Structure 1
């Protein structure tokens, strides 16, 4: 490779040199290009690009940015990305993964436009990375200094068109299907190692040999388009709608979203779970219980979401729940050679390989300090520590999170330090504070302001524009290193933010998350109260979005009104929109409700008659419902989480069928189930109510 930076006097000659190096090493290079339109067109032409992604340039091979995702799963030669009017990092990384070895990725930038974006300034600095070239119309240009050896031999097996790692993965998939039950396989790899194509090839081979049904699940169908295309090509499968492919012998490969998979439990001979790192562990655990032959795949680093933290926790779960599981690591790149400069550049520029530091001693006192977002772009060490915390603590972290860290509006950052090492962090955003006219326009659907996610959601779903008039702070994420969890660090960070909000005279701190019992216990223990619950399960996480708030100083007039609306709607939604919600979560949400009225004396008397066996269930459903709702509100979540309480929730509140409730809780039918409800109710009633 070229070992020194080169002054640019002949840009075309420099590009020819770079193209030759890329072809001889079967690698890819990032090339920053800066100049006027005529210069850019000549450089794009010299790069021999197959496609240009731009909202400004024109031409037969130009695609607008809103269609860039159609490149996913494809293989392309040289590609040019026009970044002058904005930078979508997730799309950039996705497009980069489509470029094959021997080609260039041209990154069109404008160094003359004053950019307020701290992320963009940092991005331009990576034009001087050892793996990158920078070609300028005016000023100094440079070629990479990163050493790359000339490619030798073949990467792929000529007969099968697969790498050795892919062949091992295919063999492991076939063994899951034909070997002992309950012995899943886990395929792990960095992006570009061909695990999706290996799954597709294996599916095609299995389907060609006998009539098999193979289900594929992933947070989005776009994640598995590569899998489907390889299966269809290898197995000559025909299209059976958008989400299904069939073979002549009746075999079928079909896609189903994670939430639908667990809700409907479609039958299949083999389940392939692609991008498992983007699916919460509880859902993966349920898949293990329902399906006996499963193959999971996970991207260790990539734009799909960084999965190292997931892999560690998931391996521990597999050790407990599927002791005969097997792991296959795909190491060889499929579309480029080892030591690829573009891959090295992506890892550095977007911190895919950021690893958290480990304090020498974990007993040192924890100190909470504010971190200034304005200084992060020039403090690479702190930025890496923050991003590594996100990667380690959250199952879904993408390169765009890096943009939010550097450019997020109204961003508040707090760090928890053990000595000098960052072991926890809180990310928050200031929202609201709108003028009344703008607030009304948002509520009426005439305006939508970027950011302000919590404030706008609460206002638009209740029709209350006063929510937007007051400023609030939304806690976006809390991340703590695994070794420091369960030590109160998260609560320290929240309380420190509340103190900061108090000093700013901000009256409400809120948050939003996929509701589960564990997170509810954490937030409710800190005094956060429910204000809104989404009615659609997230397809990837399988959870409902829950929004909470806490008043710090003066309680705004709208706060109690929103909470009253929450409980009013929840009481009725439990039987419809939330009829499949986990009963423990239903109990938790209704506990301590101040919206549950006491049952009337006549209703309470009817409940006691039911408990004594004098009246049947069908005659007392209203009275029993009113009494039970009040009982939940008055009792702790610990009491509300027992099995009979769950049964009462499932039948009385969620209106699940007698057959389903009896089967779920181990009774022979309605008669036994109703008798158990009667006995439990009698135990909960005070003696005076039984007289």
Structure 2
């Protein structure tokens, strides 16, 4: 296509987009990109001479600011330059023109996050010199000087397959004009409404108006939950904020106080809820004061008899209030949500089903099962219609396809007879969209933490392998795992790890070197299971375990391991498959609120010797620091870490402490006076690696005796009342004394100087 024709079509498309409220996208890839970038911008300014502009780049990279400054000269209107690393802070904003500088970095997360900030009638411009050469994120995937470009080639192919896309590739021009139908967002307020009309007037779609009334479900009755799910850009956080204003108004009319906790992966993630809560309160003429964070985000909103306050997840769950709101719930973690559902009576969960975070289908499945298990009344609210642009927007269609946000799985015939284990050819996989959606769909359907970067790592990392169990000659997939080759480190990298330095990749060797200090482990070759998943209809039938078994049997490595957020159900799966817990992070992951865990299955004799040592070191560290570093760990997780670790140690206890424990069992000494002896007996039990206590007894021994948590905290974590906890401690100590000393609660021990031996001396 000639350049003149290209620009004529682009201008007509921009005018049509403005009239029909859809977006267009321009992609520029050539060495001398600036002239074309300027011409594209000037063409857009002919259609909209005063646009709001977002320009995203890495300001710290050489020449990046120079490019920004040149572009900025073209605008006299609002121009916001955004560092990619802080782009999450802008998610609630909307712009006419979004320009992404891809010269220094091409990273799918940023594209997914920022493309959605363009409103209908707007334009997105992606420009770069080359999509693969010397890019920051891509460089982080390189291992042993090897990397592929499978992801980038598919990304470019998708540009040519969709309408609403205009491409300048070196000196060629391609205009993919949008000719489809779209439907603008409509503001329709129902004739019968439950929330105040002033709040409904702040909504901008029928979906939002319905959702607003749906939130009122939380007010009446006992324990209740509202779950709001939607793709990105549907206004779910905004309507949640309006809903909070409505709840406050009703509570004020009934003379009730409102103490509302809002939590999210970051304070930036909660900003839209807070902003629209303020707008809602203002529309209702309810006075309030506002406290902001150092970054300018609203931290709290307070007025007469009400407060809305943001708290990070780990603090929020233990806070006191009458309502908790969890935004981007799928990104926080199921162990956290399980705790929330157990402790709180009024809960609003808001989460993205499709968006730059990836799919939330796995989260919905986990959440549904959790709600059924706890028998919580729930109102599910779904929002489908986009607000920032028309339904049927071509750029949204391209984005979902290019980043595989539409990953899904096909129903599998029930009468399967033969299953096949194979390592997929990634080149073929990423050239077959249906197959890719199915394989990746299994991973994202089973894992609730996904983002577009994951797919690029899987595609381009030559050290990343995809192994599957398939049926019907590879037509359907039952189980999928992503494996990363790790280890065989140079002496230089081993020294870097031992000195506290960091490097990309080799996650498990890095952590083991830092915490166990055994150089030999860095030289071993290993496979890290990045993710493993089974299609939902075949879960619980042993396919995940079978896939691990096949991988172990065919792996020419020293060890196989995995690293994941410490969810008890996930950890239990690995332990059942003979993986040994060898490390847990001393700090919770700030974003997800869980303790990262590493498990290893040794394959070679040398790996087995090292794993035996590091598992002993790990068990010692955990038992010695549960009261301190791991005080906030759930006792359920701690129990599995201890029980899955088979390290043993002879643990002798002086008969004075045995006598004190007997006094406790006989009622002659209260728990508080016997806590030292109970503590020692608990340590002996876990070092013996025996299995004769009930799980509930072990959990209470860990929570109360080893962690030293208050009774009320343990009750909140476990749902067990204090009387029952005391009974568990009594029964556990009775069993321990019987097993190791053949004593019963009725037994007597007479302590004299003669039978004490020389363990105690006086001076």
TM > 0.5: yes
- Distance in 2 between the 1:184 and 1:153 partners? 28
Q: Give CA deviations for 1:365-411 in whole Å, capped at 9, x if unaligned.
A: 32211113343332333321221011210111111111122012411
From the superposition, tell whether residues 514 and 342 of structure 1 become closer, same or farther in structure 2 (CA, over 3 Å): same
- Distance in 1 between the 2:537 and 2:131 partners? 46
- Distance in 2 between the 1:551 and 1:112 partners? 40
Equivalent of 1:418 in 457, 461, 471: 471
Q: 1:358-437 alignment to 2 at 5 Å?
A: 358-419=411-472, 420=474, 421-437=476-492
From the superposition, tell whether residues 337 and 573 of structure 1 become closer, same or farther in structure 2 (CA, over 3 Å): same
Contact 1:277 1:310 in 2 (8 A): yes
- Partner in structure 2 of residue 27 of structure 1: 22
Classify the secondary structure of the residue corresponding to 1:302. Answer: coil
- Partner in structure 1 of residue 44 of structure 2: 47
- Partner in structure 2 of residue 235 of structure 1: 281
Classify the secondary structure of the residue corresponding to 1:427. Answer: strand
How far has the Cα of 1:585 moved from its partner?
A: 3.4
What residue ranges of structure 2 are gaps of 5+ in the alignment? 46-50, 59-63, 73-78, 135-147, 190-199, 283-287, 749-763
Contact 2:469 2:480 in 1 (8 A): yes
- Distance in 1 between the 2:383 and 2:242 partners? 15
Q: Which 10-residue stretch deviates more, 512-521 or 332-341?
A: 512-521
- Partner in structure 1 of residue 408 of structure 2: 355
- Partner in structure 2 of residue 124 of structure 1: 156
How far has the Cα of 1:24 moved from its partner?
A: 1.4
- Partner in structure 2 of residue 254 of structure 1: 309
Contact 2:56 2:100 in 1 (8 A): yes
Classify the secondary structure of the residue corresponding to 2:100. Answer: strand
- Distance in 1 between the 2:724 and 2:464 partners? 56
- Distance in 1 between the 2:89 and 2:695 partners? 49
Classify the secondary structure of the residue corresponding to 2:308. Answer: strand
Q: Which 10-residue stretch deviates more, 122-131 or 356-365?
A: 356-365
- Distance in 2 between the 1:26 and 1:149 partners? 11
Q: 1:552-591 alignment to 2 at 5 Å?
A: 552-556=603-607, 558-591=610-643
- Distance in 2 between the 1:215 and 1:304 partners? 23
From the superposition, tell whether residues 362 and 239 of structure 1 become closer, same or farther in structure 2 (CA, over 3 Å): farther
Contact 1:599 1:626 in 2 (8 A): no
RMSD: 3.1
- Distance in 1 between the 2:234 and 2:714 partners? 46
Equivalent of 1:199 in 237, 240, 258: 240
From the superposition, tell whether residues 152 and 667 of structure 1 become closer, same or farther in structure 2 (CA, over 3 Å): closer
- Partner in structure 2 of residue 495 of structure 1: 549
Q: Which 10-residue stretch deviates more, 510-519 or 536-545?
A: 536-545
Does 2:317 align with 1:276? no
Classify the secondary structure of the residue corresponding to 1:47. Answer: helix
- Give the total of aligned pairs: 678
Q: Give CA deviations for 1:63-105 in whole Å, capped at 9, x if unaligned.
A: 4433433321101111111223321211111111211110011
Contact 2:313 2:593 in 1 (8 A): yes
Equivalent of 1:169 in 206, 211, 221: 211
Q: 1:50-129 alignment to 2 at 5 Å?
A: 50-55=53-58, 56=64, 57-59=67-69, 60=72, 61=79, 62-110=81-129, 116-129=148-161
- Distance in 2 between the 1:546 and 1:678 partners? 29
Contact 1:439 1:466 in 2 (8 A): no
Q: Give CA deviations for 1:215-263 in whole Å, capped at 9, x if unaligned.
A: 212222222211112222343454224253324435221112333222x
- Partner in structure 2 of residue 3 of structure 1: none
Contact 2:470 2:478 in 1 (8 A): yes
From the superposition, tell whether residues 478 and 469 of structure 1 become closer, same or farther in structure 2 (CA, over 3 Å): same
From the superposition, tell whether residues 155 and 93 of structure 1 become closer, same or farther in structure 2 (CA, over 3 Å): farther
Does 2:573 align with 1:522? yes
- Distance in 2 between the 1:648 and 1:137 partners? 66
What residue ranges of structure 1 are gaps of 5+ in the alignment? 1-5
Q: Which 10-residue stretch deviates more, 97-106 or 484-493?
A: 484-493
- Distance in 2 between the 1:669 and 1:417 partners? 48
Q: Give CA deviations for 1:266-322 in whole Å, capped at 9, x if unaligned.
A: 213x32222222243443343233222222222221113311232234234434535
Q: 1:300-339 alignment to 2 at 5 Å?
A: 300-322=353-375, 324-339=377-392
Classify the secondary structure of the residue corresponding to 1:106. Answer: strand
Does 2:502 align with 1:456? no
From the superposition, tell whether residues 670 and 642 of structure 1 become closer, same or farther in structure 2 (CA, over 3 Å): closer
- Distance in 1 between the 2:372 and 2:668 partners? 50
- Distance in 1 between the 2:280 and 2:442 partners? 41
Contact 2:693 2:735 in 1 (8 A): no
